[in-house]
Amino acid sequence: MNERKTIALTFDDGPDPVITPQVLDLLDEYNAKASFFLIGEHITPETEHLIRREYESGHEIDHHSLTHQDMTKFTREEIAAETEETTRRIVSVIGEEPKFFRPPFIYYNELMFDTIPYPFICGVGCNDWEPDFPADERAKKMLSSAADGVMFLLHDMKWNDKTVQALKTVMPELAAQGYEFVTLTELFAIHGRKPQPRILYSNVFQDK
């Protein structure tokens, strides 16, 4: 029986030149690993150094579409084009394909499951996509939702310094409770689970 308590911190919509370095500094402080779901259009010559820093620090680089639109309205060809171009951009920076996909707005359908070749991740949110939602309330939501195998849905996007502030409360508290912060790949491996198709994961123990 696995006795480790593990949580995956996952971040959407980056990289951002202001917020992403703050998140990375905080992860370094707690020797924590995370998974970053990149928007393909945000992978530019100006942000490549941040992606390399993420990767070289042991974090995972994952896929959050090219243009962050509602992909349930796309044709099969449009879904494939978005997916392939984002993967190409990620590979061009780190030399590896992403391991997981998060659908924009968590909108998904059977055609996306059929066309996108990565396991789908949702995650447990803390309303950090709402600019006015306070940092202390974000922290409370995370702490009340924490459990072994949980994947937290967060954002390292522009203006989102409140999530950085929330993590300054959450990370030491969860570390004191014995939690480790790991990548999604590590989370599945530690618990002896293999990501399955047609599941939108928020917890590693899901089976549907």
Q: Is 155 a catalytic residue?
A: yes
- 93: tokens are 């920076």
Q: How far apart are CA 157 and CA 55, in angstroms?
A: 18
Residue given tokens 């990565």 in the structure block: 118
Q: How far is CA 145 from CA 7, 9, 112, 123, 152, in A?
A: 11, 13, 28, 11, 9
Residues 100, 121 contacting (CB under 8 angstroms) = yes
Choosing from 59, 63, 64, 155, the catalytic residue is: 155
Main-chain dihedrals φ then ψ at residue 80, nearest 5 degrees: -60, -40
Residues 7, 35 contacting (CB under 8 angstroms) = no
Q: Which contiguous run of DSSP H or E holds residue 159?
A: none
Q: How far apart are CA 20 and CA 124, in angstroms?
A: 20
Choosing from 12, 62, 128, 148, the catalytic residue is: 12
Residues 86, 44 contacting (CB under 8 angstroms) = no
* Residues with catalytic roles: 12, 155
